[in-house]
Amino acid sequence: MDSLKIICPNGHLGFAPLKVESFRLGVAAKPDFIAADSGSDDIGPVPLGSDGCASPKAWQEHDLEQMLLASREIGVPMIVGSAGDTGSDSRVDMYVQIIRDLAARHGLAPFKLGWFYSEVDKETVRAKIASGSPVQGLDARADLDEGELDATDRIVAVAGVHPYRALIEDGCDVIIGGRSSDSAIFAAAALSRGFPEAQAYYLGKVLECASFCAEPYGAKETVLGEITRDWVEVTAMHPGQRCTVASVAGHAMYERSNPFHEHVAGGVLDMTDCRYEQVAEKTTRVTGMRFAPADDFRVKLEGAGKIGERFVGMAGIRDPYTIAHVDEVIEWAREQTRERFGETGWALHYNVFGRDGVMGEMEPLRDRPGHELLIVVQGVAPTREMAEEVAMTGTRQLFYARLPDVKGTAGGVSFVFDEVMPASPGYRWTLNHTMAVDDPLELFPRHTETVGA
Amino acid sequence: MTKTRLSELAKTIRSKNAGTDKITFDIIFREREAYETVKRSGAVSRDAMARLFGIDEARITDFVEYDPAYAIKFTILRRRPSGSPGDPDIFGAQQYAPLLDVEVETA
């Protein structure tokens, strides 16, 4: 095979629905694979910790239906990675069931469905630490200790190409993956057809966010990637978009600490000496990528742990004197909460929109607040009842804050709601680490079945 | 001496999470000339960015001038992981705004 084509319709399947027009243009270009990633850690730790989704099921079904019908129509494999935003086992099962249901509803001819899981049991990680193999922290985190492991509710391992290759080489027509490196699902398809690692991983890197590598800006549009032994080309499918040298090279740095290296399970894609060339109006060709295999095989782990139940309140301020003293108002409300609940065992978080709500301490203009402020209050505590009361105290006491020279003594803040609202529980990312494994497949159990009439 | 705002020179100025613990900033120019001008000016340097955002330089983990894309890119460590209670910007997508007004010596 001299070249291989893959289309990607969505950079985060389900987060917003794919656009059908450019997807159908991509299908008409006769790709050899249709693939999309569904996961992200951008969505925060709540979906992983609580084993839920960030996206409505209807949007996920929409994209899976488009991809499945196209894949069966033109007879090429379809691959989806990081099922259901997090790739947890329950999300993989949910996607597998959606595929079965879609096959039945559309009366599809039999096809082979394969899937793999990526959740890691806490005891597996504990045993690894006990064996003397440190679970190393990424991004300035310390190595994992047992306390942080105990504080974790759910862990997923981030798969590389290996479980995908195993399922492709097993003849699967539709593959649903657990948590995965975004680029791995595309790279696996290219590697399974014999293309070199450097080009294969670059193909994955450039396709994973779909039309984010094209211009003008427009998300959820299909792009087509083509790989040979020598180069990777990427072409925008939307009639109004182009893949240019600037848009493709610019994409190399998107969401990454630096634009030169992309770490995957088993090695590093080196883009330092990549060359970009406009070879057609909508197509850019990339050459010069390299791949360096790693000495030891380490798998990235993501973990989320619950902090507590959470309620949210909101309060507005218009009085300029109160705005100038907003930190004292907040401290008053905190103090009332301390009097009720003591020093520890609960938390209040205040984001003061109109001053530094978006940027916090990094806001250069925090000494220049707007003429009105919105304070968003989060109360976190072990039980829902206590979280509601913490949030209520932290919000309502803003109304009663005692400022010495305030003119308006009938109430210090405005309320859109004189209540606090239930929110998702508070979670935090507990693991952003890597763990050594002996076998690239050991954390990713695979299954297959024949689906269809 | 002429000064021009960075937002008038760059095609794209954006911020976004790079994993759970970092936010990365991209400043991308359409032409080499504007890119080289900004590089030469020193207006977007590691220490200028630390001063602009009021952070210790040690929190800037990467600072890269990326010639193939006419881009300057830097990455900072978050104070707490994305999405923890109190984090107002789970995606890190609105942290770039102070860059728009950075003044660059253009002549």
What's the confidence (pLDDT) of residue A411? 86
Task: Give the residues across from A314 on adjacent strands.
Answer: A376
* pLDDT tens string A229-261: 999 999 999 999 999 998 999 888 788 888 899
* Whole-angstrom distance, CA of residue A430 vs CA of residue A315: 31
* pLDDT tens string B33-73: 999 999 999 999 999 999 999 999 999 999 999 888 899 99
* Whole-angstrom distance, CA of residue A240 vs CA of residue B72: 27
**CATH superfamily, domain at A307-430:** Ribosomal protein S10 (3.30.70.600)
What's the confidence (pLDDT) of residue A259? 85
| Binary contact (A45, B52; C-beta < 8 A) | no
Q: How far is B106 from chain A (nearest CA, A)?
A: 23
Q: Which residues numbered 341-370 in A keep a CB inside 8 Å of some CB on B?
A: 347, 349-351, 353, 357-365
Over residues A375-396, mean pLDDT: 98
* Whole-angstrom distance, CA of residue A333 vs CA of residue A320: 19
Considering only CB atoms, which chain B residues are within 8 Å of A357? 88
| Binary contact (B83, A427; C-beta < 8 A) | yes
Residue A262 and residue A217 in contact, taking contact as beta carbons nearer than 8 Å = no
The structure tokens 């930190």 sit at: A327
What is the residue extent of each domain of chain A? 4-118+158-297+437-451, 307-430
What's the confidence (pLDDT) of residue A256? 83
* Whole-angstrom distance, CA of residue A85 vs CA of residue A44: 10
> For residue A298, is pLDDT > 80?
yes
Whole-complex ipTM: 0.94
What's the confidence (pLDDT) of residue B67? 87
What's the confidence (pLDDT) of residue B1? 79
| Binary contact (B11, A246; C-beta < 8 A) | yes
| Binary contact (B54, A361; C-beta < 8 A) | yes
What's the confidence (pLDDT) of residue B92? 96
What's the confidence (pLDDT) of residue A196? 97
Tell me the two tokens of residue A81: 């990675």
* Whole-angstrom distance, CA of residue A383 vs CA of residue A315: 23
Q: Predicted confidence band at A150 (pLDDT cuts at 50, 70, 90)?
A: very high
| Binary contact (B84, A428; C-beta < 8 A) | yes
> For residue A453, is pLDDT > 80?
no
Considering only CB atoms, which chain B residues are within 8 Å of A302? 20
Nearest to B107 by CA among B28, B31, B34: B34
Q: How far is B70 from chain A (nearest CA, A)?
A: 8
What's the confidence (pLDDT) of residue B29? 93
Cα angle B89, B92, B93 (rounded to 5 degrees) comes to: 100
- Amino acid making up residue A354: G
Region for A452 from its dihedrals, namely left if φ exceeds 0, alpha if ψ lies in -120 to 50, beta otherwise: left
| Binary contact (A429, B84; C-beta < 8 A) | yes
Nearest to A424 by CA among A10, A24, A52, A11: A52
Chain A, nearest residue to B88 by Cα: A358
Considering only CB atoms, which chain A residues are within 8 Å of B94? 358-359
* pLDDT tens string A97-135: 999 999 999 999 999 999 999 999 999 999 999 999 999
* pLDDT tens string A11-70: 999 999 999 999 999 999 999 999 999 998 899 999 999 999 999 999 999 999 999 999
* Whole-angstrom distance, CA of residue B62 vs CA of residue B49: 12
> For residue B99, is pLDDT > 80?
yes
HSE (side-chain half, CA atoms, 13 Å) at A216: 1
Q: Which residues numbered 55-84 in B keep a CB inside 8 Å of some CB on A?
A: 55, 61-62, 64, 66, 68-71, 73, 75, 77, 79-84
Give the other-Cβ count within 10 Å of B105's Cβ.
14
| Binary contact (A275, B84; C-beta < 8 A) | no
Considering only CB atoms, which chain B residues are within 8 Å of A425? none
Q: How far is A431 from chain B (nearest CA, A)?
A: 9
Which domains does chain B carry?
A: 2-80 (3.30.70.260)
Over residues A299-313, mean pLDDT: 98
Give the other-Cβ count within 10 Å of A369's Cβ.
18
* pLDDT tens string A164-220: 999 999 999 999 999 999 999 999 999 999 999 999 999 999 999 999 999 998 989
| Binary contact (A255, B24; C-beta < 8 A) | yes
CA B33 to chain CA centroid, nearest Å: 18
Measured between CB atoms, does A44 come within 8 Å of chain B?
yes
Q: Which residues numbered 264-283 in A keep a CB inside 8 Å of some CB on B?
A: 274-276
Q: Exposed, middle or buried by CB within 10 Å (0-12, 13-18, 19+), for A301?
A: buried
Q: How far is B37 from chain A (nearest CA, A)?
A: 18
Instruction: Tell me which of A264, A366, A429, A432 to substitute to probe the interface with B (most B C-beta atoms closer than 10 Å).
Output: A429
Q: Give this prediction's pTM.
A: 0.94
Q: How far is A453 from chain B (nearest CA, A)?
A: 42
> For residue A1, is pLDDT > 70?
no
Tell me the two tokens of residue A88: 């947890």
Considering only CB atoms, which chain A residues are within 8 Å of B24? 253, 255-257
Q: How far is B2 from chain A (nearest CA, A)?
A: 24
Measured between CB atoms, does A254 come within 8 Å of chain B?
yes
| Proportion of chain B above pLDDT 70, given as a percent | 100
Over residues A81-100, mean pLDDT: 98
| Proportion of chain A above pLDDT 70, given as a percent | 100
What's the confidence (pLDDT) of residue A254? 81
The rounded mean pLDDT for chain A is 96
Measured between CB atoms, does B89 come within 8 Å of chain A?
yes
Over residues A318-332, mean pLDDT: 96
Show contacts of B27-35: CB within 8 Å, 24+ apart.
B27/B71, B27/B72, B27/B73, B27/B99, B28/A246, B28/A250, B28/B69, B28/B70, B28/B71, B29/B70, B29/B71, B30/A246, B30/B70, B31/B70, B32/B70, B34/B9, B34/B10, B34/B70, B35/B70, B35/B71, B35/B72
* Whole-angstrom distance, CA of residue A63 vs CA of residue A92: 15
Measured between CB atoms, does A255 come within 8 Å of chain B?
yes
* Whole-angstrom distance, CA of residue A52 vs CA of residue A152: 16
Chain A, nearest residue to B56 by Cα: A362
Name the residue among A43, A44, A250 with its Cβ closest to that of B71: A250
Q: Which residues numbered 214-243 in A keep a CB inside 8 Å of some CB on B?
A: none
* Whole-angstrom distance, CA of residue B99 vs CA of residue B92: 14
What's the confidence (pLDDT) of residue A3? 97
* pLDDT tens string A250-294: 888 788 888 899 988 889 999 999 999 999 999 999 999 999 998
What's the confidence (pLDDT) of residue A352? 98
Residue A192 and residue A168 in contact, taking contact as beta carbons nearer than 8 Å = yes
